Copies of this chain bind each other. A is one copy, B any other.
């Protein structure tokens, strides 16, 4: 298995896991940067995540055009989310965009999504919200150009995740396993926060800044791989033993 084949296999697995765990339904998409050509990334053609096979994966330039000009399969309209983040952040090798249900409410209210559970420290201190309305006015809310993608990437900054008003969220990480892990615990964290606010109102104890920093510092392959192994089984996917040269994980 070549490095590129391994990346494509991981990307198929990521799609199936995100579907199986309820992070995506028929919409939403993960991507992985090309391991040898940092100006390209892999992402599926426009298709529901749980149906994706290796043959659906497209090699794409950062500007969203197909790497192979003859490739006329229908891409995701929102591939610009991925391209713009890969362009802005060289250390990022995987992106997930999704609309998981507990995350949405935090993008349309003034309540800030913050981690209160140690498993969710990976989402960062507090999620900012990108609103397409601010610069682009009345749209379908879809990130349909590099211009919009870059605006979103600027708001995201160096953070692991950001909300998108009336739309969902985006996660950026060094590795696809970490990105899926963050997307999963972002959904759980949002659900827990809604429950905590329901019984505690504004009197909820969130993780301290120092706790979040410590958690991010210490969370690495030990955690990502334990979850990945579990999710692979649930999604009916073989877990790939990762060749060292492919891995770019902390810890």
What residues make up the interface of A, taking CB atoms closer than 8 Å to B?
25-27, 46-48, 50-51, 74, 99, 101-102, 104-106, 108-111, 116-119, 121, 133, 137-142, 165-167, 188, 191-192, 194-200, 203-211, 213-215, 217-219, 222-223, 226-227, 229-231, 233-234
Contacts and interface: CB of A to CB of B under 8 A. Distances in A.
The oligomer's copy count stands at 4
A226 B48 contact: yes
A140 B211 contact: yes
Contact of A215 (B116, B141, B199): B141
B203 A110 contact: yes
A133 to B, nearest CB: 7
A205 B50 contact: no
A164 to B, nearest CB: 9
B230 A105 contact: no
Contacts of A133: 208, 211
B102 A195 contact: yes
Contact of A117 (B104, B198, B208): B104
B104 A196 contact: yes
A121 B117 CA distance: 26
